[in-house]
Amino acid sequence: MKKTSLFLMVMVVIILGSCKKDENSGESFSKGTPGDHKIAMQNDATDVAAKLDGMQNLTAMAVMEEFMDLMEDSNEPYSAIENTLKSAVALKSGAKAVFVSSFEDNAFSFNDWYKEQTGIYTYNEETDEWDKKSSSSELKYMFSSEENGDIVILVSDFKAQGTSNPEFTPEFSDLLTSAKVSLTADGKSLMTIAFSASYDKEDIPTSLEQSITMEEYAMSFKASRSASSVALDYSYKFSNANILSAHFDSKGDFDLEKFEDTFETDMEDAMMEQDVLESSNIWIALGNFKFHGFANWKDLAQQIPNIDEDSEESLTEAEAKAMAKALDNNVKIYLRYNDNNKVIAKSQFYADSYDDYDEIYWKPYMRMLFADGSYMNESFLEDGFAEYLTMLSEIMDVEEE
């Protein structure tokens, strides 16, 4: 039995955003009008854009670029932190920060890699080379910057554990569990990058976490996995004010072999007939506005009427209304203010007919309902969200088609 069209509709819902079930249970609407919300969005977008522009002028950016130039001019290897620093500098142009991959793209032992480079390196301006002092436990770079004073870059807490998983060896003889990079100028902290990870008995990650603190900016990525849940969190803030944040979690049976067997063929069909996923939550907030909702996959699959594949494009009025009701009961989407969680608009699923070559068909639709009973239109989306979408594209380093 096929329910593909419903899967596609719900996936749009989940991609746009969702919330935890306990948040979803309350609907406290903002007292503002749609016009008030549109103006608030436009003002907030201007504020977020200013915060993004401010990152380009950070002292930490200038110091890292200066350090990388010195290393390249002297042909000194610094692979232990090269990718990490390049990831941070990429934020200057709006590119996404490369977190975990900074430590995972090298097919050799992390422990050997680190030990080969440990030492205290001081830049010699007379020779334009780095003088090295032996150290078995410390990796430190020091140089004088004409504009920013005495610079120290320190790599610490570098740890890795062995692996026996044949899928990883011989590419990896160990797995990174922690690392930290700090940058100071005249003793003042400009940047800290931290990474940590834990693994199960098969060396599959159960948690990954990386953070970048750069003066007043803070970015973090967290991922966790267990047998019954998975979760991802991303945060990008300026002085604790949100620039971009996102969350995803899903509950179910996350035995990896069962998951692969369920979704290895047709993802769309499996989604509505599987017994792996029970519910999914996602939200994404840009500035002070957040899209989120909740999908109860288990109850949705039970309540949707079974429709033959040949009948999917020619639903009866009763079938379309039954589908809309099932979606409305089990899928909730909200546009909210991020600071106070007040609802701006909420989803409403309904069934309606349409004319195609003089034939009448029925299908379920979704619309966003404001507190005053009106519905979100293209004008609201274009005027309110246009600048947000442009910024989101730049932050995530996605080219517009």
Is 271 a domain residue?
Answer: yes
Write the pLDDT tens digit of every residue in 304-327: 766 655 555 678 899 899 999 999
Q: In which domain, by residue range, is 363 found?
A: 1-55+241-401
User: How far apart are alpha carbons 359 and 103 in whole angstroms?
Assistant: 58
- The predicted structure's pLDDT at residue 73: 78
In a shared domain, residues 351 and 376: yes
H or E stretch including 45?
helix 34-55
In a shared domain, residues 147 and 49: no
- pLDDT band for 189, please (50, 70, 90 cuts): very high
Q: What tokens were used for 5?
A: 């069209």
Which are the contacts of 157, defined by CB distance < 8 A and separation ≥ 6?
A: 178, 179, 180, 194
- Percentage, residues of the chain above pLDDT 90: 32
Write the pLDDT tens digit of every residue in 356-385: 888 888 999 999 999 999 999 877 877 777
Longest dimension (CA), the chain: 84
In a shared domain, residues 49 and 63: no
**Amino acid at site 107:** A
Residue 164 CA, chain-centre distance (Å), reads 30
In a shared domain, residues 387 and 294: yes
β-pairing verdict for 119-124 and 139-145: parallel
Q: What tokens were used for 136?
A: 């078995």
Supply φ then ψ for residue 254, to 5 degrees: -105, 40
Write the pLDDT tens digit of every residue in 243-282: 989 888 887 765 655 555 544 554 445 444 555 566 778 8
Does 7 score more than 50 pLDDT?
no
Of 185, 216, 232, the domain-final residue: 185
Of 147, 162, 185, the domain-final residue: 185
- The predicted structure's pLDDT at residue 184: 96
396 within 8 A of 98, measured Cβ to Cβ: no
User: How far apart are alpha carbons 302 and 300 in whole angstroms?
Assistant: 5
Does 71 score more than 80 pLDDT?
yes
Is 369 a domain residue?
Answer: yes
Residue 232 CA, chain-centre distance (Å), reads 7
pTM above 0.85, yes or no: no
Is 219 a domain residue?
Answer: no
In a shared domain, residues 274 and 398: yes
**Domain count of the chain?**
2
Long-range CB pairs of 29-32 (<8 Å, 24+ gap) are 29/342, 29/343, 29/344, 29/371, 30/337, 30/342, 30/343, 30/344, 30/371, 31/371, 32/344
In a shared domain, residues 36 and 77: no
Write the pLDDT tens digit of every residue in 98-115: 343 444 444 446 777 788
In a shared domain, residues 245 and 388: yes
Average pLDDT over residues 3-14: 42
Average pLDDT over residues 18-43: 74
Is the dihedral angle over the CA atoms 55, 57, 60, 65 positive or is it negative?
A: positive
Q: What tokens were used for 63?
A: 């110091």
Q: Which residues pair with 331 in a beta bridge?
A: 295
322 within 8 A of 348, measured Cβ to Cβ: no
- pLDDT band for 216, please (50, 70, 90 cuts): very high
Is 230 a domain residue?
Answer: no
Average pLDDT over residues 218-237: 88
- The predicted structure's pLDDT at residue 78: 58
- The predicted structure's pLDDT at residue 312: 52
